[in-house]
Amino acid sequence: MAASTLRLRQATDRDALACAEIYAPFVSGTNITFEVEPPTAEQFVNRIADAQAAHRWLIAERGGTVIGYAYGHPFAERAAYGWSCETSVYLALDARRQGVGRALYEELLGDLAALGYRRAFAGITLPNEASVGLHRAFGFQDCGRYVRVGWKNGAWHDVVWMQRDLQAAESDPPAPIKRA
């Protein structure tokens, strides 16, 4: 049953089209993301490269088909935020509720901790019980809420912010490892 085996790996630019195709329905058909135009595969090439430079972008595939991805990226631009990162996960519509998101997040959070990041944050447009549940299952806790912060599809939407420690806080921590 090799076709049913889930495989996780680092993303490459060859995954850009598949990632764009997974993401597009979330842009055009939901409020989960505040983007209003689906990004192109070329834009995803750049996004993957940016994430891989200092964080991670992971791919989940089954039977050679990309069915999901998760990535880390900078939480904020200022240098003092350098030990924190933001995470995201997206799955093909027919790959949900099969443990793919859990597998991606388990690997991603471990990778980010190994790179030296101390905290992970996730911004989740509400309502999105599946995403809130996934994050809570990984120990993320509510840390804030932006009320009526995004206008999409004719309505205002709230975003809940959740955070999780990736490793213990310490005084004078070394800078996170950047990939060459």
Is residue 37 over pLDDT 70? yes
- Please, what CATH class does the domain formed by 2-121 belong to? alpha beta
Closest CA to 21 of 1, 43, 42, 40: 40
* pLDDT on residue 172: 77
* Residue 2 pLDDT: 41
Query: What does the pLDDT average to over 27-49?
Result: 96
Q: For residues 62 and 2, which has the higher predicted lDDT (pLDDT)?
A: 62
Q: According to the model, what pLDDT value does residue 179 have? A: 63
pTM score, two decimals? 0.92
Q: Token pair for residue 117?
A: 């990041």
Q: Is the pLDDT of residue 97 over 90?
A: no
Nearest alpha-carbon partner for 68 in 34, 40, 94, 47:
94
Give pLDDT tens digits for 144-179.
999 999 999 999 999 999 999 998 877 778 788 776
Among 39, 43, 8, smallest CA distance to 25 is for: 39
Taking the C-alpha atoms of residue 110 and residue 107, their distance in angstroms, rounded to an integer, is: 5
- Give the pLDDT band (50/70/90) at residue 1: very low
Average pLDDT, the chain: 93
Torsion sign, CA atoms 24, 30, 32, 33: positive
Q: Tell me the three state secondary structure of residue 130.
A: helix
Place of tokens 């205002």: 156
Token readout for 136 is 């809570």
